[in-house]
Each structure stands twice: as structure tokens, then as C-alpha cells.
Structure 1
Amino acid sequence: MKIVFFGSSSYVIPILRFLVKNFDLKLVLTTEKSGGAVPTFCKQNKIEFLSVPNLSDSNLKSLILNLKSPIAVLADFGLIIPPEILNLFPKGIINLHPSLLPKYRGPTPVQNAILNGDKITGISIIKLDEEIDHGPILGQEKEQILDTDTAESLYKRLFAKGANLLPKILNKYLEESLKLIAQNHENATFTKSLKRETGFIDTSKIKDQKSKIKLERKIRAYFPWPGVWTRLRLGYGGQAKLKIIKFLPFGKLQVEGKKPVSYKDFLNGYPDAKSVILPIL
């Protein structure tokens, strides 16, 4: 069966592998530019792909229509699918979303799960409708959140789990033997996009154990992007300069332009920063 895929980032490669093996993958649409994980995979496997900054190109609708693909799959795409694209697929677009919907709709479900100290999350497979992560559920599987998880490690596991769940779900859906379950919209929660500034911290406000726990979660939730960072004046006298300091998982710090080091090695190299760094450890 012909199929189209919408997706970006290295996280979705397990899903692409499944589609290449089991379907006639006619086209991949991605927001990544040449050199990204998805375009590279497509080139290696001789799959037609388009790198698109948006879905407003009038030629795109004609291209998809001419493919005559009854269904599409979407994962970590990063753009909202407009109705004129959604309606091109008779059997719709199947979306893999890394949360247990209706919890954490939107672009940053994993980051929010870690920030909130959740112990369990999961992957949801839904049929897209015109609202964000709002459509009926085809299937879900739970996943434990480890104390060491970063957004990166958890996204990898969730999309890999989704790639394993997709064959069972997709085949039943195409055979029309799967019952779709409406989400409980009253229980929906929503997430927001992250910006570089989201990761900035004011170290003077990290004073008690509760704020230290929040910082530790934030470091893991915002890795690798946007990262947790602050500005510190490092050096002595006229040699002192304002530098960006990144807080990395597993007890690492990184001064801009330098390699990551342990807190201990950082303080050995910049003893003048002890008054700022030690209170938040």
C-alpha cells in the first residue's frame, strides 16, 4: 500500500525503517534541511523527500494528490497540518505523539513530563483531526520515566516504542477492525514551544531543596535544547568577562567555548565562582 510520511529528527528513524520495510513509501515530508537525519536516511534508501519550511506551497497539494496514497503517518513533524492537506488522504493521517493523551498535547510533552517529576508517560497513536493532538486514540503504551532520563533519551525510547506498536495498530486500522476511542477532552493539558530564553536561570533564586530539585529536572528536560544556562562574570579585575555557563546532565558544567567539565573541575578553574555555584549544588 502506498503511504506518505511527515516527520523530522533522528527520533523518527525507527518509524521510517518500519514504513520502508512494510509499505510503498512514496514521499517523505520533513522540516529538516539536507544533512539532517531524515533527509540523510531518505538519500541512503533512495526515497523521495521534500524539505519544507511550511505547507503553504500550492504545488504540494497537487503532488500529494497525484501520489494517490490512501494514508499518511506523522511523527515529530513540527508543523500543523492544514485541512487542505489532511483531507487528501482518504484514511487520514496517523500521528505518533509521545505522551499519554489527552495529557501533554502540543510540542513539548516529554520536557513537561520530566519537569513535573512524572514517573510514567507513554506513546499515543491517534488519527489526526483539525485540532492539535485532539483526534481519537488508536492505541497507547506506557513507559517508565527514569531518574536519569533527559528529553533526548526519553524521546528516543518513546518513538522506538511507537515504531514497535505501529505495525499492530496500523494493520488493524486499515482492516477496519480497530475501535477508535475518543479522548476525554476535559482532562486535556497543553504544552508550549521552547525558546532559547526558556533555559535561562537566575542562580540567586535557587536557595532551597525544592528549587534545587526543579533545577535538576530542568537540566534533564531541556537537554539537549534549549539547555539550562546563566551568565557569570569569570576572572579577576580587568580580566573578568561575562560568560555563558551551561548546566548539563550528570553534574557537568560548560563555559562557552570550552569543553564540559565536572562541577569540581569547574570550581578549580574558576574559584571566584564558588559563591554562586556552591549554594545551588
Structure 2
Amino acid sequence: MRLAFLGTPDFAVACLSALVAAGHEIAAVYSQPPAPRGRGQALKPSPAHAFAIEHGIPVRTPASMRDPAEIAAFVGLKLDAAVVVAFGQILPGAVLDAPRLGSFNLHASLLPRWRGAAPIQRAIMAGDRMTGVEVMRMTEGLDEGPVLASETLRIDALETAGTLHDRLAAVGADLLVRTMAAVARGDAVAKPQAEEGLTYAKKIRPKEARLRWGKPAAELDRKIRGLSPFPGAWFELPTDKGPVRVKALLSQVEEASGAPGQVLDDKLLIACGEGAVRLLRVQREGKGPQDAEVFLRGFPVAAGTVVL
């Protein structure tokens, strides 16, 4: 089919690559405008934008798809279908209805649970045991369209947002290709979403990332894993030269007790409001991620230390 692909982050790249490999004609890739990245804050294209350039696919980076000129350009592509994967903008009806067969979205949750911006992170933070990916026919409402296909994945005990992201991206790319083949054949069946179980995956805010040790260990463990690797749940470690910010990237819950924030041994077991969390992977400010054992060799943390 002749498709437009609208997507921005790495999650979208797996799907775009799979559609190209399946032989679809990608008339254009739409992505968010280049943004400042890295230490120099130079403007760099999004992962989907970079993939499109590498493969000779035309790219458009509109500030708003509601711009009448952008809508006219989109209609002018004369598409069979549009595919949207983590694009980052709400699309108006004039865009969604322009392709001959409609517009389709791959979403990283089992709808209607976790509609919205951060379904992978929110599923882990909420303690969900299962999640998945679904392809829906898009409507103007936020992730409200009928579902054509889905795949379910289990969330493991040491799952992070990063590992779950990668698994969902791979499964989602395969599901999307199979579903678009069904759309092309005319035998795809869309079923309305259930009316029960609706939740919204709100965007992750910076203030959420700080660890508050008075919370139960199970809640903090889910937050650590749900915000890993980005933005990274963090705390402050006291030193002779002042507090040092440390990101906690992987953890597990253990049975132990102490004052919230107190380090209970020399291997980063930290007491919480209920129970304790063992930090397994951390990242000191300005440094790269390290397993806790490696981190402690160069930056020992004694039992009895109180982290903030």
C-alpha cells in the first residue's frame, strides 16, 4: 500500500523499518521537529526522522498537523492508509479521514487501560502483571478507536521501562505488519474497546522522579523500574563535598526494616516506609550507568548512611 508514517521515537523506528521491509511504499514520514540533544544542545532529528533520511524517504516535521497547509499537503499524498506510532501530536479529523482506507495506530497497552502518553512506564509503576500492544483504527478521541489486533506480554519482576519498551517494539512491529496486510486484503475486523477498565497514562513529570523513602518498598521499586532508563528515579547521597544525585535504574524488594532512607548494609539495601529496596543498578550524576557492585568499588556507601 501507499502509506504515510507518523512517528518520532525509537519505538516508532521498529515499526517503520518493518513496514519498509514488508514492501509498502512510504510516501512520507512525519515526525516531530528536530530538538536540542546532547551536551552541545545541537538540533538533531528524531530517530524516525533519521531513519527516513537514511532510507531516502521524504520527511515532514510540522509544528502542528492542524495547519491548513499541512492538511492540504497530507491530502495531496493520495494515500491508501496512514500509520501512527508515538507521533506526539493529536491529529484532526481531516488528516485521519484523508487516506482511502483510514488511519491506524499502534499503541503500547491493552486498551482501554493506559490510553495516553506514557503507557509503558505507567503499567510498571502501577504493578501491572500483563500488558501488550494493539492496533486500532484511529478516531479523533484520545486512543478511543476500535481495535483490530492485539498481542499480550507478561511484565517480569525485574522489568524496566527500557526492557519492556524493546520487547513491545519488536512484537508491535510484527503485529502492525500483519494487521496492515489484513487491511489491504479487506478482511481486518475492528472491535469497539471495552467500556470498563479505562485508565489514562499521563505524561511523566520531572517532579515524579524523586524517590521519597517514606513510601512502601514495593511502590518505590515499581517507580525505579518504571522510570528506568529515562528520566530515572533519583535520590541524593550525602558526601563530604555535599549531596550527589544518583539515579536508581534497577531494584528489587527485600524484607528488612529501618528508618526510611537508611542504608542497611554495604550493598545498597535502603529502608523504606515498609520494607526495603536493594539497588541493583545506579548512575551517579555525570557518569554512566553501573551495576551496584561496580559503583560501590569507586564510591562506597557505608551501612548507616541516610540517603535523601
Please, what TM-score do these two structures have when normalized by structure 2?
0.80
The 10-residue stretch of structure 1 (217-226 or 13-22) with the greater mean CA deviation from structure 2: 13-22
Counterpart position of 1:44:
54
Tell me how far 1:106 sits from its aligned partner. Answer: 0.9
Tell me which amino acid in the other structure corresponds to 1:122: G
Tell me how far 1:268 sits from its aligned partner. Answer: 6.9
Tell me how far 1:248 sits from its aligned partner. Answer: 1.6
The equivalences for 1:144-223 within 5 A come to 144-203=154-213, 205-206=214-215, 211-223=216-228
Tell me which amino acid in the other structure corresponds to 1:172: A
Distance 1:103 1:255, change over 3 A: same
- Alignment partner of 2:94 out of 79, 84, 102: 84
Tell me how far 1:220 sits from its aligned partner. Answer: 1.1
Tell me how far 1:181 sits from its aligned partner. Answer: 0.5
SS in 2 for 1:43: helix
SS in 1 for 2:156: coil
Answer whether contact 1:106 1:192 (CA < 8 A) is retained: yes
- Alignment partner of 2:299 out of 266, 269, 281: 269
Structure 1 residue runs of 5 or longer lacking an equivalent are none
Answer whether contact 2:62 2:70 (CA < 8 A) is retained: no
SS in 2 for 1:249: strand
Tell me which amino acid in the other structure corresponds to 2:28: L
Tell me how far 1:261 sits from its aligned partner. Answer: 4.2
Distance 1:114 1:32, change over 3 A: farther
- Alignment partner of 1:228 out of 230, 233, 245: 233
Distance 1:116 1:233, change over 3 A: same
Distance 1:259 1:5, change over 3 A: closer
Structure 2 residue runs of 5 or longer lacking an equivalent are 35-43, 252-279
Query: Partners in 2 of 1:248 and 1:103 — Cα distance?
Result: 25
Distance 1:258 1:88, change over 3 A: same
Answer whether contact 1:72 1:89 (CA < 8 A) is retained: yes
Answer whether contact 2:133 2:171 (CA < 8 A) is retained: yes
SS in 2 for 1:121: strand
Query: Partners in 1 of 2:218 and 2:16 — Cα distance?
Result: 37
Tell me which amino acid in the other structure corresponds to 1:254: Q
Counterpart position of 2:74:
64
- The answer on 1:256 being equivalent to 2:257 is no
Counterpart position of 2:275:
none
Query: Partners in 2 of 1:25 and 1:13 — Cα distance?
Result: 13
Tell me which amino acid in the other structure corresponds to 2:210: F
Query: Partners in 2 of 1:271 and 1:154 — Cα distance?
Result: 30
Counterpart position of 1:241:
242
Query: Partners in 2 of 1:172 and 1:260 — Cα distance?
Result: 43
Counterpart position of 2:112:
102
Query: Partners in 2 of 1:30 and 1:39 — Cα distance?
Result: 6
SS in 1 for 2:248: strand
Tell me which amino acid in the other structure corresponds to 1:256: E
Distance 1:122 1:234, change over 3 A: same
Distance 1:151 1:32, change over 3 A: farther
Tell me how far 1:77 sits from its aligned partner. Answer: 1.2
Please give the per-residue CA displacement for 1:69-94, whole angstroms capped at 9, x wherever unaligned. Answer: 13100111121112232222232211
Tell me how far 1:158 sits from its aligned partner. Answer: 1.2
Tell me how far 1:202 sits from its aligned partner. Answer: 2.3
Please give the per-residue CA displacement for 1:72-122, whole angstroms capped at 9, x wherever unaligned. Answer: 001111211122322222322110011111111111111121112222211
Distance 1:260 1:137, change over 3 A: closer
The 10-residue stretch of structure 1 (113-122 or 72-81) with the greater mean CA deviation from structure 2: 113-122
Identity %: 29
Tell me which amino acid in the other structure corresponds to 1:5: F
Distance 1:65 1:268, change over 3 A: closer
The 10-residue stretch of structure 1 (35-44 or 2-11) with the greater mean CA deviation from structure 2: 35-44
What is the number of equivalent residue pairs in this alignment?
Answer: 269
